[in-house]
Amino acid sequence: MTTTRRIAGAAWTIARKDALAELRGKHAATSTLFFAALVLLLFGFALGPDSRKLAEAAPGLLWLAIVFAGLLTVARLHQVETDDDALEQLALYPVDRRAIYAGKVISGLVAMLVLGGVLLVAVAILYGMDLAPALPALVAILLLGALGFAAVGTFYAGVTVRMGAREVMLPLLVLPIVAPLLLAAVKATGAAIAGDPSGELGAWLQLLIGFDIVMLVAGAGTYGFLLEDV
């Protein structure tokens, strides 16, 4: 079996285990979803009932809600490894460290795609917007944005998982790094919803792709060091 197949197999095993644990402990995932929907609702209240203002702010509000809820998601996916010191056991299996990182990124990606999908519907309902014409582009943006966030979030969740103040440290470390991703995702979402009148959507998607590649390569190359001396 080739190294790539071994890594893919182990990553799939880890992602499958995380998905099963998430489904079984669904109260945690559900509360994250409600938290994100609540963020959208409160932003809506803060901006007032002006539907034009809400539509203009919608891309930013959507991605802020995804990022806030994403922080909780990646933290939870690592938290499950600290119960009964499962992280040490995971680190002692004879598998490539990149497989463990990849597995956790896949888990984070899937959870965030579900989250993002629900939030897109919530935006359409709460802010009275018709997102159907832009749906293919929005799905692509969500996929790229969620992947980039999962790549960064997984790495820093690994950094902070054993810290006492991890709830504070994780946002402090992740948010500055994902600023370019947030900017590109918000701009791309805005362009997609508006029908891309100035033809900028492609450039923002390229930035998202570049961000994802850099962060995935960096994360896969360095995550293994976080498992040393666990």
Partner 1 sequence: MPQTTIYRSPRSLGLQDSPPPAVDTVELARLFGRSPALAGVSLRVEPGSVVALVGPNGAGKTTLLRVLATAIRPTFGTAAVDGLDVASYPDQVRSRVAYLSHTTGLYDDLTARENLGFAARLLGVEAGEREERMTAALEEVRMADAADLRVRGFSAGMRKRVALARILLAAPSLVLLDEPHAALDPDGMALVDRMLDAWRGVGVTVLLASHAVERIAHLVDGTVRLDGGLVAQVDGTGVASGLFSPPRTAPAMVGAGR
| Residue 92 binds to partner 1 (criterion: CB under 8 A) | yes
Between 34 and 93, whose beta carbon lies closer to partner 1?
A: 93
At 197, the amino acid letter reads: P
Between 130 and 229, whose beta carbon lies closer to partner 1?
A: 229
In this chain, which of 38, 41, 42, 86 binds partner 1, going by CB under 8 A? 86
Span of 11-19, 131-139, 153-161, 170-178 interacting with partner 1 by CB under 8 A = 11-19
Between 80 and 110, whose beta carbon lies closer to partner 1?
A: 80
Q: How many CB atoms lie within 10 A of CB 53?
A: 12
Q: Are 110 and 19 in contact (CB under 8 A)?
A: yes
Span of 87-95, 124-132, 196-204, 207-215 interacting with partner 1 by CB under 8 A = 87-95
In this chain, which of 29, 47, 64, 91 binds partner 1, going by CB under 8 A? 91
| Residue 143 binds to partner 1 (criterion: CB under 8 A) | no
* Shortest reach from residue 73's CB to partner 1, in Å: 16
| Residue 85 binds to partner 1 (criterion: CB under 8 A) | yes
155: CB partners within 8 A, 6+ apart: 101, 215, 218, 219, 222, 223, 226
- The pair of structure tokens assigned to 85 is 């010191």
* Shortest reach from residue 10's CB to partner 1, in Å: 6
Q: Are 204 and 62 in contact (CB under 8 A)?
A: no
Nearest CA-CA partner of 210 in 180, 171, 179, 190? 180
The helix, strand and coil proportions of the chain, stated in percent and rounded to the nearest 5, come to 85, 0, 15
In this chain, which of 53, 93, 128, 162 binds partner 1, going by CB under 8 A? 93
| Residue 230 binds to partner 1 (criterion: CB under 8 A) | yes
Site for partner 1 in 12-41 (CB under 8 A): 13-14, 17, 20-21, 24-25
Nearest CA-CA partner of 187 in 146, 141, 144, 151? 141
Determine the Cα–Cα distance for residues 166 and 168; give it in Å rounded to an integer: 5
Determine the Cα–Cα distance for residues 140 and 51; give it in Å rounded to an integer: 26
Between 30 and 89, whose beta carbon lies closer to partner 1?
A: 89
What single-letter DSSP state applies at residue 133? Answer: G
| Residue 126 binds to partner 1 (criterion: CB under 8 A) | no
Determine the Cα–Cα distance for residues 67 and 152; give it in Å rounded to an integer: 11
| Residue 5 binds to partner 1 (criterion: CB under 8 A) | no
| Residue 164 binds to partner 1 (criterion: CB under 8 A) | no
Binding site for partner 1 (CB under 8 A): 9-10, 13-14, 17, 20-21, 24-25, 80, 83-86, 88-96, 228-230
